[in-house]
Amino acid sequence: MKRKVAAVLEPNASRWKALAEGLKKAGLKVTAAREPTALTNEQLVVLGTSAKSPSRVAREVREAAPGALVLAAQSKGFKAPFADAVLPVPISPNDLKVRLAEWERRESEVPLNVPRAGDGILDPITNFYTFNHFKEVLFIEVKRARRYGFPLALASIGFDGQDQYGPQVRAQLMGGLSLAMRRSLRDTDYPVQYSEDRVLLLMPHTDLAGSLIVARRICERVSKATLQVGDQVVQPTISVGVAAGDPGRNLSFSDLVKHAQDGLEQAMAAGGNRVEFRDAASGIETSSDGIPAIPPVALPSPV
């Protein structure tokens, strides 16, 4: 479904205006509806941060507009079980455009037939965002973090010993990594296919401690997985390099990538199956402890 008409249910006038302007910059028409009973033909409804009883309001929205996508505007926390997804505020129009396109693709249930190196939104094997499409959003998120003083983290992820595998096995491994990552992420995190053997994970509003929890969880999921290749059982492991930018620190996207790549190389050189990190003060440090216990899962072949 193409979503072109939106409503903002926000009682605070200044916040309503800010949300409406963000939606308009993303190409949406915003109606005057401020209550669920006033909804008519809106395909997207944003619940503002000042909305009282958001769970009740969300139910009323679904009754009034069953086909509408319900987004919860949030500046922190990023948990809204009553909504279809979270909309980070301040709104990043480019981010919202990408997410709208992704929701439309999922609803259409039409296979995405694009080349692997592709110019499309998603890599057809891993379902990660393609870097060519998403690099502008990545740059904007870094600028937004600097401007508003948000923490921001970036992880670089790669399989250990990839040279021993052929192209088909590597593709299967990446498909399994996609599954392991998506079970560990929020809907505000951005997994991006940076190259054939590297994945970048951008984590807005996330400090070093939070990003290490995510990285360790992904690392542990993969290390407890298996992949059947003919008569051979492969037990893959990954290395992860994490870079975190302190709020207000003047880091660029290229800085974060370099620091994360340095951490990844350090992790691989130390034997793999580990997380290395770098923050503003301490440089690269080992971070292999405190990994939560997660049940094993078999890596499926990509569809």
Please give the full DSSP string across 92-145, using - where no structure is assigned: -HHHHHHHHHHHHHHHHT------TT-SSSB-TTT-PEEHHHHHHHHHHHHHHH
One domain for residues 17 and 159: no
Which pLDDT value is given to residue 107?
A: 63
- Residue 274 domain-assigned? yes
- Residues forming a β-bridge with 37: none
Residues 170 and 260 in one domain: yes
Last residue of a domain, one of 69, 92, 115: 92
Domain shared by 214 and 83, yes or no: no
pTM beyond cutoff 0.75: no
- Each residue of 218-247: pLDDT tens digit? 888 888 877 776 677 778 889 999 998 766
Q: Is the distance from CB of 302 to CB of 182 less than 8 angstroms?
A: no
Residue 276 pairs in a beta bridge with 241, 286
* 74 and 211 co-located in one domain: no
Q: 26-40, 88-102, 214-228: which has the highest mean pLDDT?
A: 26-40
Tell me what the mean pLDDT of segment 138-166 comes to.
83
- CA 222/CA 81 separation, integer angstroms: 27
Q: Residue 11: what pLDDT?
A: 92
- Are the C-beta atoms of 219 and 273 separated by less than 8 Å? yes
Identify the domain boundary among 38, 66, 92: 92
143, part of any domain? yes
- Residue whose entry in the numeric block shows the structure tokens 């409503």: 7
pLDDT in the model for residue 248: 57
**Quick one: 139 and 206 in the same domain?**
yes
pLDDT over 60 (residue 295): no
- 10 Å Cβ neighbour count for 128? 22
**Domain limit, last residue, from 37, 71, 92:** 92
What does the pLDDT read at residue 109? Answer: 46
Residue 165, in any domain of the structure: yes
CA distances from 125 to 28, 110, 122, 175, 237 (A): 30, 14, 9, 6, 19
Same domain, 86 and 196: no
d(CA 56, CA 58): 5
- Structural domain count, the chain: 2
Quick one: average pLDDT of 19-26?
94
Residue 78 belongs to domain spanning: 5-92
User: pLDDT tens for residues 250-260?
Assistant: 667 888 889 99
Helix axes 93-108, 131-148, angle to 10 degrees: 140
